[in-house]
Structure 1
Amino acid sequence: MGGTAGCGVQAAMAIDIREDRVKMGIVSREGNVLFSRRYPWETSSVAGFLDALVLDIADFQRQAEGRWEYDRVGVSMGGWIDREAGMWLYTAKVHGFADPVPLRYLIERATGHPTFIDNDIHVSTLAENRFGIGQIYPNFTYYHIGRGIAVGVVSEGNLIRGAANYAGEYGGYLYDLGGQDGVCRLEEFASGRGMVRWARSLFEQYPHSVLRQADRVGALSPTKIFECAAENDSLATYIVHHVQRGIGLSVVNLLSFTNSEAIAFGGELAGLHGLLPVLTDFIEEHCAAPTRRSLNYIGSGRLDVHEEGMIGAAWLTWEGGGVPPCPGRTL
């Protein structure tokens, strides 16, 4: 989306780093993405990531210069974040990550603007809370299905963060696949990466599966797995059955704990063929009566999955993520 911010329009630069990409945008205080660009996420090393990020920021600012005005930066970052200190504490996605990274300081130096940073799923949940499902239901659960699996829980309008700002890392939910696979983490077979890895590990048991041919030409993906399941491919059907059941059980257990009024599914894989209708039926069948009667909405989040991270990151700069600016930093 292009154009020029008018006089008095408040906007922020947003940086959303998740999945396999970095998205940067200019977002208005009303939650509209005015301009955006996408860059690859360099994961070969921490130094390589930081060098690439600085170059990407410079490129983005050159393109936005003279077109959009902003005076703050919000960052949505995958991994464990100390939002008060602005530190990136851990991620498994960048090779060789060992020591905390002062990400807020580095981005402030690169952009020249005060910066706020938080975990990516927390940021998406905050976006839904401010501009999406939270405007209707003050008690809701955001369930993200992408390359990983995570959740955000909002109670009476407030995001539950946990003691170390690490609440919601739900990919560790345990599920019994049976047989040789046994008990494993939900993310290992039901996330985007997990589905593809699991399919490859089963090729010898399903030598005639269409998925095997798809992998040979670089076309194996979660979308392909669900499409082939709809066409009764035996391996794809087996995988999709466990994905649906594993996510379904995790949702039912989660809702039994949160007693949410709504559950909103987000992430780039939440719209996989037939997934939401199956999950809806599973929830309605297996939730206890009080939990089910409290639940008024089961469905997709209200925001564009490709923009929610940028929208939430921008909103951090006005809400501050609950963290006051450091001394000497003004907004």
Structure 2
Amino acid sequence: MSKKIIGIDLGGTSVKLAILSEAGEILEKWSIKTNILDEGSHIVPDIIASIQHRFESHGLSKEDFLGIGMGSPGVIDVEAGTVIGAYNLNWKTLQEVKKQFETAIGLPFFIDNDANVAALGEQWVGAGQNNPDVVFMTLGTGVGGGVVAAGNLIHGFGGAGGELGHMPVDFEDAFACTCGKKGCLETVASATGIVNLARRYADTYAGDAALKKMVDDGQEVTAKDVFDLAKEGDDLALIVYKNFSRYLGIACANIASILNPAYIVLGGGVSAAGEFLLSGVRKVYEENVFPQIKQSTKLSLATLGNDAGVIGAASLVLK
């Protein structure tokens, strides 16, 4: 009989857990609140207790499972199974995550960065269609991502491989990034970045577009507002959309020219703009990418949504 896998997606607000088949199908899922009090010391014990409760209530034992995989924020040592610097979890010191899980539950435990794990999920059973060469970009508050090449996650020599959001792309009056540099992709292609662009172009725009009025009136402007207005033909919103597409399309062309993956998959909250977002980015991408690569590397939208993390975490066990 085939065995099951536990996948865990650890976030600053909640922990998503799932039991999956070896084919990546979610059999059941649940979530618990992330308790970051006391330097995050409750987080791992809470997850372990939740899994143990699930075993008891569903008549399961460790013999039913191959192992446990987890995606976590922070700097991960995948061999040692430790995490440090996950500040949204209040984990400032080194966390011996693997040791705690394996001691308490007795199953093999695997961990990687949450963005990398989401990339594995989309590569395995999502938009990547199980192709061994897939790049995943998540467009949220920032821009994260992961690179899967020849079936393996790229971690890089110092563990920072796949930091796609910190590619320099903006050489105008560049916005400061949280990393300390200026002009990073995430300052112009994230939800925050789109608002940055709305303010930049509103400053020099002389018409009476609805987006201009919102910015000038000090109203809260979101990425969704910008895309919705652009779809309606708002002049300033279209300028923002065109420049967002320019930055992200060129970034995708650069990634494709270096890696030539089968797919560059766009996910995260901003990607909810769907085909409208993709069409603008694809146009710029195709104008700038190496001609032979244009035939083989395709842009696509993520398909797994919030399940990418638990599915990708489960795949760590199989790999």
Report the TM-score, using the length of structure 2 for normalisation.
Answer: 0.79
| Secondary structure of the corresponding residue to residue 307 of structure 1 | helix
Report the TM-score, using the length of structure 1 for normalisation.
Answer: 0.76
User: 74-83 or 257-266: which moved more?
Assistant: 257-266
Q: Identify the match of residue 114 of structure 2 among 89, 96, 120.
A: 120
1:284 aligns with 286
Structure 2 counterpart of 1:276, one-letter code: L
Instruction: Extract unaligned runs of 5+ from structure 2.
Output: 177-181, 204-210
User: 83-92 or 104-113: which moved more?
Assistant: 104-113
Residues 79 and 91 of structure 1 are in contact (CA less than 8 Å); yes or no, is this contact kept in structure 2?
Answer: yes
Q: Following the alignment from structure 1 to structure 2, what is the Cα–Cα distance between the partners of residues 99 and 154?
A: 29
1:66 aligns with 57
Q: Identify the match of residue 149 of structure 2 among 135, 151, 155.
A: 155
1:305 equivalent in alignment to 2:305: yes
| Secondary structure of the corresponding residue to residue 305 of structure 2 | coil
Residues 211 and 228 of structure 1 are in contact (CA less than 8 Å); yes or no, is this contact kept in structure 2?
Answer: no
| Secondary structure of the corresponding residue to residue 271 of structure 1 | helix
1:318 equivalent in alignment to 2:318: yes
Cα RMSD between the aligned structures? 3.3
Residues 265 and 299 of structure 1 are in contact (CA less than 8 Å); yes or no, is this contact kept in structure 2?
Answer: yes
Inter-CA distance 255–203: structure 2 relative to 1 (3 Å threshold): closer
Inter-CA distance 199–135: structure 2 relative to 1 (3 Å threshold): closer
Q: Following the alignment from structure 1 to structure 2, what is the Cα–Cα distance between the partners of residues 179 and 28?
A: 50
Inter-CA distance 245–153: structure 2 relative to 1 (3 Å threshold): same
Q: Following the alignment from structure 2 to structure 1, what is the Cα–Cα distance between the partners of residues 201 and 41?
A: 38
Residues 137 and 264 of structure 2 are in contact (CA less than 8 Å); yes or no, is this contact kept in structure 1?
Answer: yes
1:143 equivalent in alignment to 2:137: yes
Higher percent of residues as helix: 2
Residues 16 and 120 of structure 1 are in contact (CA less than 8 Å); yes or no, is this contact kept in structure 2?
Answer: yes
Shift of 1:10: 1.4
1:75 equivalent in alignment to 2:79: no
1:171 aligns with 165
2:241 aligns with 240
Shift of 1:175: 2.6
Shift of 1:82: 0.5
1:55 equivalent in alignment to 2:46: yes
Residues 90 and 98 of structure 1 are in contact (CA less than 8 Å); yes or no, is this contact kept in structure 2?
Answer: yes
User: 61-70 or 241-250: which moved more?
Assistant: 61-70
1:253 equivalent in alignment to 2:249: no
Shift of 1:255: 0.8
Q: Following the alignment from structure 1 to structure 2, what is the Cα–Cα distance between the partners of residues 275 and 23?
A: 28
Residues 7 and 68 of structure 2 are in contact (CA less than 8 Å); yes or no, is this contact kept in structure 1?
Answer: yes
Inter-CA distance 192–211: structure 2 relative to 1 (3 Å threshold): farther
Inter-CA distance 180–132: structure 2 relative to 1 (3 Å threshold): closer
Residues 148 and 193 of structure 1 are in contact (CA less than 8 Å); yes or no, is this contact kept in structure 2?
Answer: yes
Structure 2 counterpart of 1:312, one-letter code: G
2:213 aligns with 208
Shift of 1:257: 0.8
1:28 equivalent in alignment to 2:21: yes
Shift of 1:53: 4.8
1:14 equivalent in alignment to 2:7: yes
Inter-CA distance 68–50: structure 2 relative to 1 (3 Å threshold): farther
1:327 aligns with none
1:5 aligns with none
Shift of 1:315: 1.8
Inter-CA distance 84–201: structure 2 relative to 1 (3 Å threshold): same
Q: Following the alignment from structure 1 to structure 2, what is the Cα–Cα distance between the partners of residues 223 and 316?
A: 34
Shift of 1:317: 1.8
Shift of 1:68: 6.4
Query: Sequence identity of aligned pairs in percent?
Result: 27
Structure 1 counterpart of 2:188, one-letter code: F
Q: Following the alignment from structure 1 to structure 2, what is the Cα–Cα distance between the partners of residues 107 and 88?
A: 13
Residues 198 and 237 of structure 2 are in contact (CA less than 8 Å); yes or no, is this contact kept in structure 1?
Answer: no
| Secondary structure of the corresponding residue to residue 66 of structure 1 | helix
Instruction: Extract unaligned runs of 5+ from structure 1.
Output: 1-7, 320-331
2:206 aligns with none
Shift of 1:117: 0.6
Q: Following the alignment from structure 2 to structure 1, what is the Cα–Cα distance between the partners of residues 248 and 281?
A: 8
| Secondary structure of the corresponding residue to residue 184 of structure 1 | coil
Aligned length: 302
1:38 equivalent in alignment to 2:31: yes
Shift of 1:106: 3.1
Shift of 1:232: 4.8
| Secondary structure of the corresponding residue to residue 255 of structure 1 | helix
Shift of 1:76: 0.8
User: 274-283 or 223-232: which moved more?
Assistant: 223-232
